[in-house]
């Protein structure tokens, strides 16, 4: 997935359509000069609606959309004719998109199913025509109801990518390199922090023509749950992964400590993440001989682990086996 065409955050000003005004028309015919009120109701204003589309994976199509304005309803007319309703605006978004009010922070909803619709801004109701206000004491009401105004708000669209396995690690832990080796994805790779600024997806082939989706997400740092580094922009993507692959390089001073820091950041962000299946990969294992590996093993955390090297491609088959077991909860 190219970093130039993956967009996971946009903010759009939305204005639904106002309802049309009711009519104050009176019935006038050749032999019925004073036929009484017959003004129709105004039409409803158009809604702004988000719709789930399973064939989309980015908010790129909304990147340059700054304003969405739905049509207003038309005014009512004679013979109790109701005005036409304003046309709705329906925007397709990928599954996993959350919409929230930018001003209040209130979550409007989350799109999780193909075809699911969520009304972001409801159009105003049309006003009642004067025919509704006729009474025994007022046979000729010369007034009608105006239509309701449309709703305006700034809506934030945030995409949480959906993947089977999410890669968790500090910057430069080798996550992008691993993804490029296990799949056909071509993430940016360089020897400096935060090479990965946006998530990358790759399809990992497994035994018997099976496969699973792996997500390489920007590196986490201590304090990410408070917004440090790439912070919350990273962490929200983890929520939609079925299993988490923690990556700690073999040349780390304390592998267990780094793992626990990463785990704590996830816990502080959302305690429910602790329920996900976890696997630990000690990357850059080509730097270790068997004696060093045996010295490290007793101090590793109590999770399934494997020593891997993306350079020599050692341990990758065993890693895929562990991930497949985690995804299928094979104990």
Same-domain status, 147 and 175: no
Same-domain status, 120 and 179: no
Residue 255, pLDDT score: 92
**Last-in-domain residue among 105, 126, 159:** 159
Mean per-residue pLDDT over the chain, rounded: 85
CATH number at residue 283: 3.40.50.300
Domain that holds residue 183: 163-327
Same-domain status, 172 and 300: yes
Residue 92, pLDDT score: 95
* Distance separating the N- and C-terminal Cα atoms of the chain: 33
Residue 29, pLDDT score: 76
Which strand (E) or helix (H) includes residue 294?
helix 290-296
Nearest to 175 by CA among 145, 195, 146, 148: 195
Is 273 within 8 Å of 225 (Cβ atoms)?
no
**Last-in-domain residue among 90, 125, 159:** 159
Dihedral in degrees, nearest 10, Cα atoms 254, 255, 256, 260: 100
Same-domain status, 197 and 113: no
Residue 288, pLDDT score: 86
**Last-in-domain residue among 131, 159, 187:** 159
Helix (H, G, I), strand (E, B) or coil at 189: coil
Compute the distance between CA of residue 190 and CA of residue 132 in angstroms, rounded to an integer. 71
Angle at 166 between CA 165 and CA 170, to 5 degrees: 145
* Tally of domains within the chain: 2
Q: What are φ and ψ of residue 203, in 5° steps?
A: -95, 120
Mean pLDDT in runs of 10 for the chain (331 residues)? 63 97 87 82 97 88 93 94 96 92 93 94 96 90 94 92 82 79 60 48 84 77 45 65 90 90 86 90 90 91 93 92 86 42
Nearest to 148 by CA among 224, 97, 73: 73
Half-sphere exposure of 34 (CA within 13 A, CB side): 3
CATH number at residue 79: 2.70.210.12
Same-domain status, 51 and 200: no
Angle at 274 between CA 268 and CA 246, to 5 degrees: 90
Q: Residue-wise over 169-183: b if at least 16 C-beta within 10 A, else e?
A: bbbbbbbbbbbbbbb
């Amino acid at each position: 997935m190219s970093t130039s065409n993956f967009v996971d955050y946009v903010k759009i000003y939305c204005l639904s359509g106002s309802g049309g005004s009711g009519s104050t028309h009176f019935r006038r015919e050749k032999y019925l000069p004073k036929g009484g009120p017959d003004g129709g109701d105004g039409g409803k204003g158009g809604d702004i609606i988000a719709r789930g589309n399973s064939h989309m994976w980015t908010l790129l199509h909304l990147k340059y959309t700054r304003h969405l304005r739905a049509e207003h309803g038309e005014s009512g007319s004679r013979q109790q004719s109701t005005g036409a309703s304003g046309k709705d605006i329906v925007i397709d978004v990928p599954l996993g998109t959350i919409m929230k009010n930018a001003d209040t922070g209130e979550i409007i909803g989350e799109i999780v199913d193909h075809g699911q619709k969520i009304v972001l801004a409801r159009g105003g109701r049309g006003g009642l025509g004067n025919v509704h206000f006729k009474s025994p004491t007022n046979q000729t009401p010369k007034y009608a109801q105006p239509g309701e105004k449309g709703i305006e708000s700034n809506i934030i669209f945030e995409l949480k990518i959906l993947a089977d396995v999410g890669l968790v690690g500090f910057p430069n832990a080798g996550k992008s390199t691993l993804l490029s080796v296990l799949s056909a994805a071509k993430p940016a790779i360089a020897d400096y922090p935060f090479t990965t600024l946006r998530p990358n997806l790759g399809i990992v082939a497994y035994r018997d023509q099976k496969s699973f989706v792996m997500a390489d997400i920007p590196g986490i740092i201590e304090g990410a749950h408070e917004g440090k580094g790439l912070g919350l922009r990273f962490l929200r993507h983890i929520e939609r992964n079925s299993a988490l692959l923690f990556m700690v390089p073999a040349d780390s001073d304390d592998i267990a400590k780094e793992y626990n820091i990463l785990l704590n950041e996830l816990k502080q962000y959302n305690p429910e993440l602790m329920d996900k299946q976890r696997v630990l990969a000690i990357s850059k294992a080509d730097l270790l001989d068997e004696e060093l590996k045996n010295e490290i093993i007793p101090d590793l955390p109590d999770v399934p682990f494997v020593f891997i090297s993306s350079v020599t491609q050692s341990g990758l088959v065993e890693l895929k086996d562990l991930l497949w077991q985690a995804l299928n909860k094979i104990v």
